[in-house]
Homo-oligomer: A and B are copies of this chain.
């Protein structure tokens, strides 16, 4: 049932009225340097905040045994976060509407060299329409929007007429185990909404992602006898080139994956980190690098990882040095399949109406080449999942920023959607 024009206008006005507070709240979230494994303080802040807002709290740890036994779970490396997951629960007086999960993640990626930032990476500085900071877009603005969309209803004396779970997770940037743990804990609903920074578009499909390390070892010598030694850094480069062959082959298969239609290079492989060697004048004995590669939605993560392992093993057999020193692959993160949001759901239709009200333009959908926690809801909860959020720039880069005018409109669309999807009742 569409919202009445009066209610709609009151909701829009309430988001506007609360927006200064929402900005301050976003800045507060940005002020936490919540890198992987360092999300304890921000999750504790979230827990106290949600409790103060009247949400019931369920806080729990990620369960390594259960996660790694699940087909979508990722291995726990030594860097895996031990921070808790926090779920804030709203129960209505009467369950008359459709239930909803509002999810966000609060882990952020490293800032890189500090001197390449013009703005304080944790300052939340505002310059014109943009708020700067690591995680400002990805996705602390979305985390704040989850709270302030609900807050807008409350400000006009309303609350959702259905159960709403506000799920604050971690490990989105490395494994997706945080979101998966909420599923394993039993949380589900009639739909889920995740305000990732999607340029005001709804994600129609994304990729799966694999993370693994490759280690090459060789026998070092004094550099004066370099011909006799084997250079692990050079050998690693040969393995990287061989991995590029996989990336090229997979991109050449794009036509078989209609969800990527119009996308130039849907599969990206990234050598995100490299380290090797101990001494300038010793031929390096070892080199390790970190690989992130995507796979098409619908492809099985373990099957594609096996394909990579086989490819590298075959390459190594034909390489005089690697033949004696086969590279060692170790999966150390994402083991995730991609998903497709089937068109035609009520949830998508209602979000479309809400978006058009807030923006005055139709909701577009797009393909994402990134891992998204939405895969958990699509693949395992099997519910409509709306991955939709504000404009941002330089995600994972320097001077990451989010557009505040975009956040305002997205929050309006979210509040309208919640009111429509869940229905409302008096507080």
Contacts and interface: CB of A to CB of B under 8 A. Distances in A.
Interface of A: 109-113, 116, 138, 173-174, 209, 211, 217, 219-227, 229, 231, 233-234, 237, 264-265, 268, 270-287, 289-292, 333, 368-371, 394-398
A142 to B, nearest CB: 15
The DSSP consensus for interface residues of chain A is loop
A49 B282 CA distance: 31
Contact of A274 (B173, B277, B395): B277
Contact of A396 (B111, B265, B281): B281
Nearest to A226: B268
Contacts of A271: 231, 233-234, 277, 284
A363 to B, nearest CB: 20
A280 B274 contact: no
Given A109-B278, A225-B369, 17 more contacts: A112-B286, A113-B217, A116-B285, A138-B222, A219-B397, A220-B396, A220-B397, A221-B395, A221-B396, A221-B397, A270-B280, A271-B277, A272-B281, A273-B276, A273-B277, A273-B284, A280-B291
A221 B395 CA distance: 6
Contacts of A279: 109-110, 173, 272-273, 396
A370 B222 contact: yes
Contacts of A274: 233, 274-277, 284, 287
A365 B186 CA distance: 78
A217 B281 contact: no
A259 to B, nearest CB: 15
Contacts of A219: 116, 397-398
Given A220-B112, A222-B395, A231-B271, A292 B281 contact: yes
Nearest to A289: B233
Contacts of A285: 112-113, 116, 397-398
Chain B CB within 10 A, most for which of A209, A223, A291, A394:
A223
A209 B394 CA distance: 42
Contacts of A113: 217, 285-286
A369 B369 CA distance: 50
Chain B CB within 10 A, most for which of A109, A265, A368:
A109
A280 B268 contact: no
Nearest to A290: B280
B268 A223 contact: yes
A226 B280 CA distance: 31
A419 B365 CA distance: 90
- List the 4 shortest-distance A-B pairs measured between CB atoms, nearest first: A224-B369, A273-B277, A110-B278, A272-B280
A394 B228 CA distance: 10
Contacts of A396: 220-223, 279, 281-283
Contacts of A223: 268, 270, 272, 292, 369-370, 396
14 contacts: A109-B281, A112-B220, A116-B219, A174-B281, A219-B398, A224-B368, A224-B370, A233-B289, A270-B280, A273-B277, A274-B274, A279-B396, A280-B291, A281-B396
A219 B219 CA distance: 35
A265 to B, nearest CB: 7
A108 to B, nearest CB: 10
A55 to B, nearest CB: 31
A411 to B, nearest CB: 23
Contacts of A112: 220, 278, 282, 285-286
A341 B275 CA distance: 39
A196 to B, nearest CB: 11
Nearest to A399: B219
A389 to B, nearest CB: 14
Given A272-B277, A275-B275, A396-B221, A110 B369 contact: no
A397 to B, nearest CB: 5
Nearest to A277: B273
A357 to B, nearest CB: 29
